[in-house]
């Protein structure tokens, strides 16, 4: 254990130089931070050393294949429509389909979070007046359930879309 017999620096996959930091880490630690979409920052820490780098793994192709498979089934549930719509609207892709799926999700299971997704899809398709009305309905339902995060998200979107709905 701990032997380096046969080590060949030329075969290193990666090599990092880093200055010492003031922050002490007792045990070698690997953290994932700033995780968003298809990337994350990896932090390697030990003693007074921290090495950071970004990794990227494009999951879009697989996600779209999963959506195609899910939409090809005969017994699609409201949650499946909603998740597929939300993925597409967040990525800015397949927006007409996302709107249709969000509408189906709401028609099957009307909740403030499904209405919020529908409002996002309406706005992404340029239907700002409808988006404001849907977001208002979502916000009212979220207020009744004491879900401040959805109240805040809807409020911010209503302000944004109201200027475009004219």
Residue with tokens 């109240």: 151
pLDDT computed for residue 151 by the predictor: 97
What are the structure tokens assigned to 68, written together? Answer: 């195609």
pLDDT along the chain (166 residues), means of 10: 77 80 87 90 90 89 94 96 97 96 98 98 98 98 97 97 87
Contact 86, 104 (CB under 8 A): no
- pLDDT score at 3: 65
DSSP run (H or E) holding 57: none
Q: So where are the chain's domains?
A: 17-56, 60-162
The pLDDT assigned to 110 comes to 98
Read off the pTM: 0.73
d(CA 42, CA 132): 39
Q: Residue 14's pLDDT is what?
A: 81
Quick one: 60-162 is in which CATH superfamily? Answer: Tetratricopeptide repeat domain (1.25.40.10)
């Amino acid at each position: 254990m701990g032997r380096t017999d046969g080590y060949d620096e030329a075969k290193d996959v990666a090599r990092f130089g880093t200055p010492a930091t003031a922050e002490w880490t007792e045990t070698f630690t690997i953290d994932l931070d700033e995780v968003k979409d298809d990337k994350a920052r990896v932090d390697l820490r030990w003693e007074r050393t921290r090495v950071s780098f970004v990794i990227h793994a494009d999951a879009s192709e697989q996600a779209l294949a999963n959506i195609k498979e899910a939409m090809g089934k005969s017994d699609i549930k409201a949650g499946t429509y909603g998740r597929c719509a939300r993925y597409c609207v967040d990525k800015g892709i397949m927006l007409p389909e996302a709107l249709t799926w969000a509408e189906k999700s709401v028609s099957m299971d009307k909740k403030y979070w499904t209405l919020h997704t529908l409002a996002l899809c309406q706005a992404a398709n340029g239907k700002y007046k409808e988006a404001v009305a849907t977001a208002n309905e979502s916000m009212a339902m979220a207020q009744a359930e004491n879900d401040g995060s959805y109240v805040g998200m809807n409020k911010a979107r209503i302000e944004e879309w109201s200027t475009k709905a004219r």
